């Protein structure tokens, strides 16, 4: 477990396969404030009142505005970068999100953190495919708010 989320653990492509079974996190938090929610709503066109109308949301099911589920998922790569870094990868590509489950709303001004478990790594011609079990949590809540599997591709010069 990476208890110190202030600096990402640095690994290389050569040592990446050794991470299977490793859990990173929890990460430092990202604040999901109203500005972030409004910006996401503007970019995606999802301006449902649950997300953007603070006054109406006070009388809604959650008592305040809540983040879009896809906003929560979209901060996954940013949070992941705070947990580990493949220093010699030329680039990383988000390939898939599998089995995303939204279990609880993320209320405005929540602190969201990520824990990532490396469940599989496959060698590719120019890198590795890494499967991560991602768990999003909110400070103060006893259970996760979202779970998903991420498949990322790290490319670079792979040792033979």
Condensed to tens digits (0 to 9), the pLDDT of residues 105-144 reads: 999 999 999 999 999 999 999 999 999 999 999 999 999 9
Strands 9-11 and 84-86: parallel
As a CATH number, domain 9-31+66-155 is 3.10.129.10
Question: Measuring CA to CA, which residue among 3, 153, 14, 148 is closest to residue 74?
Answer: 148
- Give the pLDDT of residue 160: 59
Q: Per-residue pLDDT averaged across 7-18, rounded?
A: 94
Q: Give 59-109 pLDDT, tens digit per residue.
A: 999 999 999 999 999 999 999 999 999 999 999 999 999 999 999 999 999
Structure confidence by residue, pLDDT tens digits, 37-52? 999 999 999 999 999 9
- Angle among Cα 113, 95, 112 to the nearest 5 degrees reads 10
pLDDT value of residue 7: 87
- Per DSSP, 61 falls in state T
What pLDDT is recorded for position 3? 42
Nearest to 128 by CA among 7, 13, 12: 13
pLDDT of the residue at 6:
67
Going by pLDDT thresholds of 50, 70 and 90, the confidence category of residue 21 is very high
Residue 4 clears pLDDT 60, i.e. is over it: no
């Amino acid at each position: 477990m990476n208890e110190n989320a202030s600096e990402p653990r640095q690994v290389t492509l050569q040592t990446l396969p050794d991470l299977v079974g490793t859990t990173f996190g929890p990460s430092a938090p990202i604040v999901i404030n109203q500005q972030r929610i409004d910006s996401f709503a503007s970019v995606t066109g999802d301006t449902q009142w649950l997300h953007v109308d603070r006054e109406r949301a006070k009388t809604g099911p959650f008592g305040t505005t809540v983040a879009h589920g896809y906003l929560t998922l979209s901060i996954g790569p940013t949070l992941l970068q705070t947990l580990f870094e493949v220093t010699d990868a030329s680039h990383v590509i988000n390939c898939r999100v599998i089995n995303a489950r939204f279990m609880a709303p993320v209320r405005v001004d929540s602190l969201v953190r990520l824990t990532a478990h490396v469940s599989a790594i496959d060698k590719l011609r120019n890198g590795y495919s890494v499967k991560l079990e991602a768990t999003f949590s909110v400070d103060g809540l006893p259970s996760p708010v979202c779970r998903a599997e991420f498949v990322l591709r790290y490319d670079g010069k792979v040792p033979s």
